[in-house]
Structure 1
C-alpha cells in the first residue's frame, strides 16, 4: 500500500500535478497517523499490564527482612505487604487481614476480603491492612506474567478473516500495479485521451483501488473487541478465538469447579433440634479430614455454633466416625450402614428428608446418639453464584446449552469428554477448569477456562474468564457477534468504495485529491467503526 501511494504521488508529479501528489502523501500520512493512534489504544493493554508489576518488594527470608528486585523473589519467601502496595507475586496469606483490589486482573471493582489462607494474585493492590504472605509462584510464572503472555499471544494470532485479507493484500496490490498501464493504454490509445490526462486518471485509479481500508477493517475491530473484553475480565488468546465464539451455538460445561465451586457445603439439616444436631456433628467431624466432614465443621463455625466436646473419636472406614460424649454416650455420624450397625432407625420424616436429599444429588450424613437418630444432613458441591443468570444470558445471546443443563453425562473420564465433544453439534465451546478437561478444551472449536482453574486447563483454552464468573460468557458472546457484524460491514463498505470510485476515477469524474479523500476517509472510517467496540462491556 505504501508503494502504491508513493508511485501515485510520483506519477502526479511527472505530469506537473506536484500539488496533488503532495496532498496525496499528506492525507495518506495523516490517515496512517490516525490508524496508529487508534490501534495503539487497543494495544495499550499489554503496557498497562506490565505497569502493574512493581519493581520489587519487601520480603523476609531466613528471618531477615529486606527489599529485593522482582526477579529475586523466590517460592517460600514471605512478602510483607503494606496498605497501598501492589502485590509482587502470587502468594498465600499467613498472617493478617486486609481487603484487596483485584480489578486489574479480574475486572471486579469490589474489594475482596483476604484472611489467613487466602490467595493473593500478583498485580492486585492491598488496600487497608498489612499482611504477610508466602510466595507460591516465582514472578515469571505469576498470574500477571501469564496474563501478559496471553495478551501478547492474542495480539499476534489472527482470525480467519484477517489471515485471508493479509494473504490477498500483496497479490491484490500487484494486480492494481499491473492494471495501471492497462488503464493508461486503454484511455490513451483506445479512448483518445492525451498522455497527461490518461496518466493522471491512471494514477487516480491506483490510489482509489488501493486496499488500505480492506486490510485494516478486521484488525481494527478484533483488537478493539479483545481490549474491551480484557477490561471486563474475559481474556481472548487470539482474534481467531473471538471470531470462533461468534459462531458458537452449543456450550458444554464441566460440572465440578465450573458450574460448581468444587467446595462441599452443608445444604440442609433435618432435626428436631438443628443447633444441637449440628453441634454434635461438628464435634465428631472435627476429627476427620474428609471434605464432607470439613463442610459440616465450616457450617457450624459460620452459624456460631460451638462443636460439642467428644473423646475417643475413631474413624470407621466405609461407614463414618464415632466417639464418646462427656456423659459417656456413644455418638456417631456416617452413612446408613453405620446407622444400622448402631441399631438405629429413621423416623418417617427423616426417611422422607433422606430420599429428597439423595434425589437432589447431595451426599447424606446421619447423626445419632446411641440407638437414636438425631438428624439427617445433606452436603453438596455448591453451585457458583449466579449460574442461573449465566445460563439465561447464554440463551439470550442465542446459544443452545447441551451438557450439564438440559442434558448431562456423569462419571466421565478425560477420553469420554473428548469423545462427547466430537459428537455435539458444531461449532461447540467447552468450559472447564481441571487437568482432566484439558483434552476436551483443546478438541472443542473453542475452549473456555475459568481463571481459578489449573494451569493446564488455562493453557489449553482459547478464552479465560479471569473472575471465574460465568455471567461474563454471555456478554462475551454478544461482543463477539457484534464484532463479526462490524467486520462484515467494514469489508462491505471498503470494497464498495473501491467498486464505486474506481470506475468514476477512470471516467475522469474523480480528481486525484478527491480520490485520496475518499480512499483515506474510508480507511479512517472503518478504523473508528472498530473503535466503537472499546466502549462495550461484557
Structure 2
C-alpha cells in the first residue's frame, strides 16, 4: 500500500525539483551576458543557459499544458507561461522569457512543496507502523510475526519501548503509552486492563498483553491515512472557484493578448513592439497568484491541524467552521467523560470499608456502568471485595445476592421498597436531593448506606467553551438525553444558562434542534459519534470527539478530534478563522497586483522584466503567506 500511494508522488516531486535545479543553473549561465566584459565564452554561456532554461523550465510546462488541453480540454496557466516566454523570445527578448520560466519553475516547485505536505503526512503516518509484532500462540508460546499478518482476536505482547502493532484492548498489565502521534496528547496515558490502545502509539513502560480488535486495514492509522488522502482531494468552495476562474480567465487572457496585439499594431506600433506589449500584457494578466491563493492556505492548515490531532475532511470543513457562530454540544462523552464515578459514600454505621467491601462484592457480578464505577472506586482504595453468591439482576431496580450475613441487595428506591427497607435517614435524604444517581445497599430489610454516582465533566470543557465565547461565538447550547436536573448541574458547572440547556432528548430531537438553530446561523454540532450521527450529519459542521476510538464519528463528522482535549476544538476554530483571513489576504493581494500590472501594461510602457518579476513575485508571496499556517501552534492546547 505504501509503495502504491507514495512512489508516484515521490518520483514526481523529485523530477520537479531536478528540473527546477537545471532551470536555475541555466539562468545562472544566462546571466553571463550581463557581464561588463563580453567575451565569446560569456556569449556562449548565455546562449547555452537560455537554451537550458527553455528546455528544463519550458518543455515540462508545455507538456503539462498540452496534456491538459488534449485530455481535459482545459487551457491552463502553464500554457499562458509558455506562450508568454515564446512571445518574448520572438520579439528579441529571450533573456526576459528565461527569467519568466525560471521564476515560474521556482514558484511551481514551491507550490508542490506546499501540496507535498499531505504526501509527507502520509509518509509520516506509514512510518509509524511497526513491521513486526510478538504474537501469543495457542500453546502459550510467543512468536515474532509481521504486523500485517495479525487478525482480530490475536493476542500480542507489548514490551517497553515498542510500538503498538494494531488497535486493541489491554487484557493484562499496567503501563503508560505515548499517544502523541495519534491524538496529539503531550503527556503519557495510563493503560489498565480494559483500556483501548491504538496502532503506532508507544508503550513506555510495563509489559502489556493486548487483544487485537481491528484489522490493519481498519485501524486508527489506516483511517487517518484515508482522511488525509480524502482531505487533499476534497476541495473547498474557494478552491473550486479559483480553479473555475483560472480556466476561464486563461481563455480570456489569451484572447485579450491577441486583441491587444491587434490594437497596438493598428495604433501605429510596429510588429515587434506590438508583440512585445501584448507579451507583457499576457504575463501581467496571468492569474497564477489568484489560482494558488486558496490551496496554499488550505493545505497548510490541514497539515497544521493534523499535527495537533485535528483532522478536517477537506477544505470545505475549514471554511465552514470559520463561519460558524453557533455551537451545539452533546453532553455525555463530549462535555463529560462519559464514564461514571463515585462522588459520595454514606455508611450509616460509619464503617465505610465494610460498606464498600459488601457493595463491591455484589456489584462485581454486574455489567451496569454504575457497577464499574463502584469497582474502580473500591479497587483504588485497596479494599477487598466481599464474597457474594447467587447474584440475580432485578430489571429497573438493582441486584440481589446471598452473603454469609443474609440477603444482600443494591439498587434504587424501588428495590429498597421491595425489600421492605426504610430510607428515612437524614444522611440518605440529603444525598438523594443531589442531581446524581443514588445506589442504596441493604442487608435484608435493613439499609446499610448509599453511594452517589455521576458522570464527570472533562477538565478542559469549561475552558474550551469560555475560549469559544471569547472568539465571538454568539450562542452555545448543550443537548442531552439525561434528566433535566442532571443537565442543569453539568450546564451550571460550564457556565451555561438554563435556556441553553436541553434535556430528555432523543436522537431525533437533537436533529430537530440542530435544524432550528441552523435558521439562526451556521451551526457546528459536537458529539461522540455514536448516538449523535444524525445530528452530526445535519449540522453545517459535524465535529466528532475522541474519534480515535469511534468508527461512527469518522463516517458522520466533517471534523475529527483525535484527542479528548476539548481545548483543541477552540484552537481548531481559531485556525479555521486564521485560514479564512489568509485566504482573503491572498486574494486581495493577488487581484490588486494583477490590476496594477494589467493597467500598467495597457496604458503605460511596462517593461516585460518588471511584469515578469511582479507576476511571479506575487505568486511566490501568496504561497509563502499560505505556508505561514504550517507554523500555527494554535491547534495544540496550552
- When the two structures are superposed, what TM-score results if normalisation uses the length of structure 1? 0.93
The answer as to 2:508 corresponding to 1:415 is yes
Return 5+ residue gaps in structure 1 as ranges: none
CA shift, 1:234, in A, is: 0.6
Q: State the secondary structure of the residue aligned to 1:203.
A: helix
CA shift, 1:418, in A, is: 2.0
Of residues 568, 579, 583, the one that matches 1:483 is 579
Distance 1:65 1:373 in 2: 51
- Give the equivalent residue in structure 2 for 1:239: 315
CA shift, 1:156, in A, is: 0.5
Distance 2:406 2:151 in 1: 52
Aligned CA-pair RMSD: 2.1
Contact 1:91 1:135 in 2 (8 A): yes
The answer as to 2:342 corresponding to 1:266 is yes
Map 1:141-180 to 2 at 5 A: 141-180=218-257
CA shift, 1:86, in A, is: 2.0
Relative to its length, the structure with more helix (as a share) is: 2
Distance 2:529 2:303 in 1: 27
Contact 2:182 2:548 in 1 (8 A): no
Contact 1:157 1:238 in 2 (8 A): yes
Map 1:488-503 to 2 at 5 A: 488-503=584-599
Distance 2:560 2:299 in 1: 16
The answer as to 2:553 corresponding to 1:457 is yes
The answer as to 2:439 corresponding to 1:365 is yes
Contact 1:43 1:223 in 2 (8 A): no
119-128 vs 210-219, which moves further: 119-128
Distance 1:61 1:287 in 2: 30
The answer as to 2:547 corresponding to 1:447 is no
Q: State the secondary structure of the residue aligned to 1:263.
A: strand
- When the two structures are superposed, what TM-score results if normalisation uses the length of structure 2? 0.79
Distance 1:347 1:448 in 2: 46
- Give the equivalent residue in structure 2 for 1:381: 455
- Give the equivalent residue in structure 1 for 2:115: 39
Q: 1:278 to 1:130 in 2, by over 3 A?
A: closer
Instruction: After superposition, give the CA deviation of every residue in 1:62-114 in whole Å (9 maximum; x if it has no partner).
Output: 33643333332211222233333222211222233332211111111212222
CA shift, 1:252, in A, is: 1.6
Of residues 144, 147, 150, the one that matches 1:73 is 150
Contact 2:529 2:556 in 1 (8 A): no
Distance 1:286 1:215 in 2: 63
Return 5+ residue gaps in structure 2 as ranges: 1-76, 480-490, 492-496
- Give the equivalent residue in structure 1 for 2:363: 285
Distance 2:138 2:160 in 1: 24
Contact 2:118 2:228 in 1 (8 A): no
- Give the equivalent residue in structure 1 for 2:613: 517
Instruction: After superposition, give the CA deviation of every residue in 1:265-322 in whole Å (9 maximum; x if it has no partner).
Output: 1122234524443333223323433222232222111122333455565544443344
76-85 vs 517-526, which moves further: 76-85
Of residues 458, 476, 496, the one that matches 1:401 is 476
| Higher relative contact order structure (alpha carbons within 8 Å, sequence separation ≥ 6) | 1
CA shift, 1:221, in A, is: 0.5
Instruction: After superposition, give the CA deviation of every residue in 1:326-354 in whole Å (9 maximum; x if it has no partner).
Output: 4x355443222333342423223431321
Map 1:155-234 to 2 at 5 A: 155-190=232-267, 192-234=268-310
Q: Which runs of 4+ in 1 moved over 6 A?
A: none
Matched residue pairs, number? 532
